[in-house]
Every structure is written in structure tokens, then in C-alpha cells.
Amino acid sequence: MIIGLFSSMRRLQIGDIFLDGHTSENATLTAQATSIPIEVGANVVDNVIIEPMTLSVSAYMSEGNLFTFGASGVFNDFKRTTDALDVLRQAQVNRVALDVYCNTGYYRNMMLTEIKPSCSVDSVTMIIYDLTFQEMIFTGESEVQNPFDPKYNDSVNRGSLQLGDAPL
């Protein structure tokens, strides 16, 4: 199913760029269970690590002047597909955290990790973008400690020692 111009579904927005439409989107959130072997020969799952979310989108943009693209109006009507591609590449190179709005949801702090533009000979005025994003997770704490372990309550064990100075 192609989602686009005459669809009531939400148009794909990446940062300030609105694309003409998209043919697919796939959001993945995975978790990895950690396990510890115990004496009876079985593994015990003691924790789950949530992996950053990934989002894959196949979208397209044509050279037609159907909409206004970009909040700042930076796109030229005759080369808007390549201008959009340049903006996406700059966001990737500059490691910009993007907000992505699509039908499966609103994704914040997404890093553009892969851009695969393609153009078919049947439609040289349209570029198809296969884009992959990964969620950037920001932490507010500069140190990680276990509050239940008394050795972490001592200031010596809060990362103040260099690796070479640590006791063996």
C-alpha cells in the first residue's frame, strides 16, 4: 500500500522535511534477557536489557511542486529531491537527533544511521529514500552505581581512580 498525497494517513515528517509519501515503515524495539548459570545446571534470567529502538522507512519525494517543504523554505522547486537528500545527509554527518513522525508513531531523538537513495529509469523525477534510524538514549547521570552495594557509598569507588591505580 502506498501512503501519500490523497491518503488520510499522516505524512512522513523527518525534522523539518515533509516527504511526499512512504511505502513502508517498521519500528523495532527489542530486549535481551541476561542469564547466569547456577549449580543445578540451569540458567537463571536475572535482568532484561532494553535495546535502542530502530526505525526503517521507505519514502519517496518527487520534483513536482505539490507542497511546501521545509519550515525555512530552503528547497528549490527544480531540485527539491536532491536538496532533501543533502539535508538528510547533513543531519547524519552532524549527528543531529531528529524527530520522526509517521503512522506507527512519533519517535524522538532518532539518529539517521543509513540512507539509501534510489531512482528508477521509469521515474527520473522521483527519488526513493530507504532510511534507517536508531534511537539515541541520553542519560542524566554521570556515574552509575548500585545503591544496595555498600562499597559504592564510599567516594573512592565512584570512578575517581585511574585504571592503572586500581587495586588488584
Q: Please write the tens of the pLDDT for every residue from 50-106.
A: 889 999 999 888 876 444 444 444 444 457 888 888 999 999 999 999 999 988 889
Neighbours of 28 (CB within 10 A): 11
Look at the pTM and tell me if it is higher than 0.85: no
Q: Match 491518503 to its residue by C-alpha cell.
A: 7
Distance in angstroms (rounded) separating the CA atoms of residues 62 and 124: 9
Domains and CATH numbers, the chain: 13-135 (2.40.30.200)
Distance in angstroms (rounded) separating the CA atoms of residues 88 and 90: 5
Q: Give pLDDT, residue 126.
A: 82
Distance in angstroms (rounded) separating the CA atoms of residues 145 and 126: 52
Amino acid residing at 105:
G
Q: For residues 140 and 92, which has the higher predicted lDDT (pLDDT)? A: 92
Q: Give pLDDT, residue 57.
A: 93
